[in-house]
Structure 1
């Protein structure tokens, strides 16, 4: 959070960095969610998609796991739940605190830069029925993320696109949400080019 109480992308990183502390231990998904707040769908999606965008994405299976988390969360947003829920096997999954800290440090500079340019605008896309369009696009993308592990960097690219959506939603910046929709619509073209152009 900023000093004015307005949510910021840097604030999400601050929470994650504080949670990781200085100890070398394992941090569970449940701890991350408790830290960000069980009502903060956008913050939670942003946090996990940023983890998958950062060097922490090198952990085997992390792209598929992040896709599963995002899928659970976005479906709940579509149905209008007030507080998020994840099954026990997801909540118990953990990540090394060291990896989380490394990811936060790697993301700090670009996120701080982007934070300065996001602000409330074009908010019509954030309301029903318009919001369903980006939500269904994120849902579809998250369903394909487990299969992206076979295409180098595609999982991180998909996670970055979801992070763009979550950042726009969190900051109430509809233009950024629209940008995320454009990027998500282009990803299948890139994947098809990768396979057909080889």
Structure 2
């Protein structure tokens, strides 16, 4: 996957796998590859940002996937594992196709500004901080499903981290960390549980 178009490539691969009916989470993972931790995290967080987030339970499903992906990245697993409860979940292909179309323009804009830089931030021990923050935010996301747009905002921040990881852009990862650090303060100021 070329770094210049890594984000679009994720959308291309999912779009090519879509049929007329539903697609399972397992099919999505197989399409992206079991070693593609960042691709899986990016795609699922983008789904929660897109119009597909209106599907009941999507934010919670995305939260579970991103939490497990981040946890497995932390421990250095080589192949992604998700429980059958998640992998059997069916996603409507028609809504995913509309979401992919909706995401093309913002993804294209972001891609034009990303490049490999500050790559030391993508190595341990620096990498552990954003992964812990992604896990923390993912744990809060199921509650956010009841607060309009908050789950999508959280998923957008996770997508920033995944995009930075996928394109080897440590500057974007660093920016995502700053935003992630601000989210607990925002939650506290709003008086939300957590």
TM-score category (smaller protein): over 0.9
Picking from 85, 88, 99, the partner of 2:95 is: 99
Cα contact 1:7–1:170 (8 A) shared by 2? no
The answer to whether structure 1 residue 134 and structure 2 residue 130 are counterparts is yes
Cα contact 1:126–1:174 (8 A) shared by 2? yes
Picking from 97, 107, 112, the partner of 1:111 is: 107
Partner of 2:155: 159
Instruction: Provide Cα deviations, 1:37-79, integer angstroms capped at 9, x if missing partner.
Output: 0000000000000000000000111111110111111111000
**Matched residue count:** 192
Q: Equivalents in 2 of 1:13, 1:83: separation in Å?
A: 21
Structure 1: gaps of 5 or more residues: none
Secondary structure of the residue that 1:27 maps to in structure 2?
A: strand
1:33-182, aligned counterparts within 5 Å?
Answer: 33-182=29-178
Q: Structure 2 length as normaliser, TM-score?
A: 0.94
Structure 2: gaps of 5 or more residues: none
Picking from 175, 180, 183, the partner of 1:187 is: 183
The answer to whether structure 1 residue 16 and structure 2 residue 14 are counterparts is yes
Q: Equivalents in 2 of 1:151, 1:191: separation in Å?
A: 12
Instruction: Provide Cα deviations, 1:161-186, integer angstroms capped at 9, x if missing partner.
Output: 00000000000000000011111122
User: C-alpha root-mean-square deviation of aligned residues, in Å?
Assistant: 1.4
4+ runs of 1 displaced by more than 6 Å? Answer: none
Q: Structure 1 length as normaliser, TM-score?
A: 0.93
Cα displacement (A) at 1:191: 3.0
